[in-house]
Amino acid sequence: MVQIEELKQKVAALAEEGRARLKEVASPEDCEAARVAFLGRKGKITELVKFLPHLPPEERPEAGRLINSLKEQFQAELDRRLRELKAQEIEKKLQEEAVDVTLPGRPVALGGLHPSTQALREIYRIFLGMGFQVFESPEIETDEYNFQLLNIPPDHPARDMWSTFYLTEPGLLLRTHTSPGQIHVMRRFAPQPIRAILPGKCYRYEQVTARAEMMFHQVEGLAIGRNITMADLKGVLVEFAHQMFGEGRRFRFRASYFPFTEPSLEMDMDCIICGGRGCRVCKHTGWVEILGAGMVHPVVLRNGGYDPREFTGFAFGMGPERILMLKYNIDDIRLFFANDLRFLEQFSGGLR
């Protein structure tokens, strides 16, 4: 018969031995070996069960608890050690996986919108906010729509203002401005009030130089109602220009002439390049023209189907390319349709 005291000594010794063993393990494999050595079927702790039959029956439950407690304790320590080792192993592996973070990243093919498209979108955005809607009209126009209905009869001296490409088909031409869209929109909506933006390509019979293109975009604006004034026109244009060019710019309105507006005006902005002191871009005036506008001529209102005694309206026209040239100090309009990616990609990130 053995005494329980003897068992207690063995448990204490094995606990000590187990801890010593676990201290030495260096890998999950070692851990497994230690587990087998202590908790396996023939393990040292498992083997303690063999003592039980030799104990007096009344001491057996206590002995059982002692052995179980030792098992649990060893198992817990073993698990803790295993977690530790695994963490170390992962850490080591990650260290080995280190890359040279200064190497260039994998290239992504970035596309971008043409700057003119971006300027058009910006213009749409600003005017949509003021209740204008976008409409389109044809690029191939008739003399009637491009000129006559806009108060420019044949052989009118104002025709010199637009050098025109004519088609061989009689009466047809490439629109020289987006203004014929005014008539299209008016005839569609008369006598309802209108707030419209009409974008599109226009063409001029002009030798292509750094300052003149034979093709360009224009955006026409038109507002017609019973209570629309030149003061409203100024308000809309100032709001537009502030949003387009940023706060803090100065603007002025000059009397001008377009056959389809009366009174007519042109809007100037202080030169961005020189800040108004005078430079080549502003021809030493300190001002650059940004758009033309005016109150819709009574003849045009009538041609569109509106009674000029009841209705008034304003119209304006601007060039997205010109706006970009002013904003970004682009000195050659040909860049827009030369489509050199070295130019276009500068705008891939959007207009700022």
Handedness of CA 26, 28, 31, 32 (dihedral sign): negative
Cα dihedral 325→328→334→338 (10° resolution): -140
One-letter amino acid at 36 equals V
Q: Which of 17, 32, 77, 232 contacts another protein by CB under 8 A?
A: 232
Q: Which does 49 bind (CB under 5 to 8 A by kind): another protein, Zn ion, none?
A: none
Q: Which does 245 bind (CB under 5 to 8 A by kind): another protein, Zn ion, none?
A: none
In the bound state with another protein, the residue whose beta carbon lies nearer, of 166 and 307, is: 166
Tell the smallest beta-carbon distance from residue 271 to Zn ion (Å).
Answer: 3
Q: Which does 282 bind (CB under 5 to 8 A by kind): another protein, Zn ion, none?
A: Zn ion
Contacts with Zn ion: how many residues (CB under 5 A)?
A: 6
The span from the CA of 344 to the CA of 317, in Å, is: 25
In the bound state with another protein, the residue whose beta carbon lies nearer, of 137 and 272, is: 137
The span from the CA of 150 to the CA of 303, in Å, is: 8
Which of 98, 90, 322 lies closest to 217, judged by CA?
322
Position 328 contacts another protein (CB under 8 A): no
One-letter amino acid at 6 equals E
Q: Which of 253, 273, 281, 328 contacts another protein by CB under 8 A?
A: 253
Q: Which of 50, 248, 339, 349 contacts another protein by CB under 8 A?
A: 339
Place of tokens 């819709």: 296
What SS3 class is residue 126? helix
Say if CB 315 and CB 220 are below 8 A apart: yes
In the bound state with another protein, the residue whose beta carbon lies nearer, of 187 and 234, is: 234
In the bound state with Zn ion, the residue whose beta carbon lies nearer, of 187 and 249, is: 249
Position 158 contacts another protein (CB under 8 A): yes
The interface with Zn ion within residues 268-297 (CB under 5 A) comprises 271, 273-274, 279, 281-282
In the bound state with another protein, the residue whose beta carbon lies nearer, of 59 and 343, is: 343
DSSP symbol at 296: E
The interface with another protein within residues 29-88 (CB under 8 A) comprises none
Say if CB 71 and CB 39 are below 8 A apart: yes
In the bound state with another protein, the residue whose beta carbon lies nearer, of 38 and 135, is: 135
In the bound state with Zn ion, the residue whose beta carbon lies nearer, of 152 and 288, is: 288
Position 227 contacts another protein (CB under 8 A): yes
Which of 339, 319, 348 lies closest to 119, judged by CA?
319
The span from the CA of 320 to the CA of 218, in Å, is: 6
Which of 175, 181, 174, 176 lies closest to 132, judged by CA?
181
Residue 107 phi/psi, 5-degree rounding, is -65, 140
Q: Which positions ≥6 away from 245 have C-beta within 8 Å?
A: 269, 272, 290, 326, 327
Tell the smallest beta-carbon distance from residue 285 to Zn ion (Å).
Answer: 8
Q: Which does 279 bind (CB under 5 to 8 A by kind): Zn ion, another protein, none?
A: Zn ion
Position 130 contacts another protein (CB under 8 A): yes
The interface with Zn ion within residues 113-142 (CB under 5 A) comprises none
Q: Which does 129 bind (CB under 5 to 8 A by kind): another protein, Zn ion, none?
A: none
Tell the smallest beta-carbon distance from residue 282 to Zn ion (Å).
Answer: 3
The interface with another protein within residues 276-295 (CB under 8 A) comprises 283, 285, 295
Tell the smallest beta-carbon distance from residue 237 to Zn ion (Å).
Answer: 21
The span from the CA of 68 to the CA of 11, in Å, is: 10
Tell the smallest beta-carbon distance from residue 307 to another protein (Å).
Answer: 13
Say if CB 51 and CB 3 are below 8 A apart: no
The interface with another protein within residues 89-118 (CB under 8 A) comprises 103-104, 106-114, 116-117
Which of 215, 226, 217, 151 lies closest to 182, judged by CA?
151
Say if CB 173 and CB 165 are below 8 A apart: yes
Which of 118, 334, 329 lies closest to 216, judged by CA?
334
Choose one: 22-30, 88-96, 135-143, 176-184; the region binding another protein (CB under 8 A): 135-143
- Contact positions toward Zn ion, by CB under 5 A? 271, 273-274, 279, 281-282
